[in-house]
Amino acid sequence: MSSRRYKTHRAFVCLTLGLFLGGCATSPVQIADSPALAGVVAPVELDATPFFPQEALQCGPAALATVLGAAGVPALPADLVPEVFTPGLEGSLQPELLGAVRRRGLLPYEVSGDLKSLVAQVVAGSPVLILQNLGLESFPIWHYAVVVGLDPAANRIILRSGGEARLIMSARKFLRTWERADRWGFVVVRPGELPAAIEPAAYSRAVIGLESVGRFAEAARAWEAGLKITPGQPVYLFGLGNARYALDDLAGARAAWEHYVALRPEDPSGLNNLAVALGELGCRERGMSLAERALDNLPEADPARTEISRSLQTLRAMPPGRDAGNCQAPRP
């Protein structure tokens, strides 16, 4: 899970920028120093990004409708209010926004919190929904906005924010308000496509989030997309096996877990999952052998032994299979 804390403070007031932008000076920030802007002088702006002027206190639904529309899944802020707006908090919490994206079969990829990562997303064509604190650390005023443009020469950020379709803010002021909100933000990615500046851990969390709402077909496409750029990424292979198994694609699950076990031959979780798939495919003997190996690799007190022992018992209760050549591990 992300180490960023989610905001629950009652002072969640969606404002246009105003009195609360003061504060201590920060170190100079030059967005032109971002690698994604190397050689770029002209402004980068995602003009086609929708704009929804926010209603009172409803910057969350407005910002969410903006990034959903940019991803090709139109939504109106009013339709999103029942999903993401919490009247008691007078605002929207981050998990509610992420959940609404997932329920539409889309991938909310949380940016790393590094300004260079945010810049890379915009340059790649993805607007970034961000959280700002327009107040102070001691009196926070949370506000959602969407970064839609960059002006490297003037060192400015362009946002859809509140009632303004093109709020232009200096990079210094933007970073200060973003910093106070733990630099949280995300882009909406269609499964099968990839975010810019992808980080395997963050991408894995995003895809697992899709699985948590039962969107296994979309999760499988997302894992497959990740494997196209990093074919031997163990976490992606393990996740792909899980998604395919949930879709009753036993052969596909087996293929992913075979690859995973070839990379991590002593990992008990991989051995157990592959053993289960093999058993259901009629490869009882090899499945039992892998489950026994998984148990051998675990200390007696490890809680995972219970599940793996259950898998082994299930395999032993199966009628003997043929365990022909198609049950053997694939050749490297």
Angle at 237 between CA 126 and CA 193, to 5 degrees: 20
- When divided into structural domains, the chain yields a total of 2
Q: Which residues of the chain have pLDDT under 50?
A: 1-13, 15-26
Q: What is the pLDDT of residue 324?
A: 61
Q: What is the pLDDT of residue 90?
A: 74
| Of residues 27, 35, 28, 67, the one with CA closest to residue 50 | 67
Q: What is the pLDDT of residue 86?
A: 78
| 3-state SS, one letter per residue, for the chain | CCCCCCCCCCCCCCCCCCHHHCCCCCCCCCHHHCHHHCCCCCCEECCCCCCCCCCCCCHHHHHHHHHHHHCCCCCCHHHHHHHHCECCCCECCHHHHHHHHHHCCCEEEECCCCHHHHHHHHHCCCCEEEEEECCCCCCCCEEEEEEEEEECCCCEEEEEECCEEEEEEEHHHHHHHHHCCCCCEEEEECECECCCCCCHHHHHHHHHHHHHCCCHHHHHHHHHHHHHHCCCCHHHHHHHHHHHHHCCCHHHHHHHHHHHHHHCCCCHHHHHHHHHHHHHCCCHHHHHHHHHHHHHCCCCCCCHHHHHHHHHHHHHHCCCCCCCHHHCCCCC
Q: What is the pLDDT of residue 189?
A: 97
Residues 137, 156 within the same domain: yes
Residues 48, 129 within the same domain: yes
With respect to residue 121, please indicate whether it lies within any of the assigned structural domains: yes
CATH number at residue 249: 1.25.40.10
CA-CA-CA-CA torsion sign (38, 42, 53, 105): negative
CATH number at residue 156: 3.90.70.10
Q: What is the pLDDT of residue 87?
A: 78
Q: What is the pLDDT of residue 251?
A: 96
Give 236-266 pLDDT, tens digit per residue.
999 999 999 999 999 999 999 999 999 999 9
Domain of residue 263 covers 200-327
Q: What is the pLDDT of residue 140?
A: 87
Residues 265, 156 within the same domain: no
Rounded to whole angstroms, the Cα distance separating 61 from 83 reads: 9
Q: Which of 165, 189, 213 is the last residue of a domain?
A: 189
Q: Which of 169, 189, 209 is the last residue of a domain?
A: 189
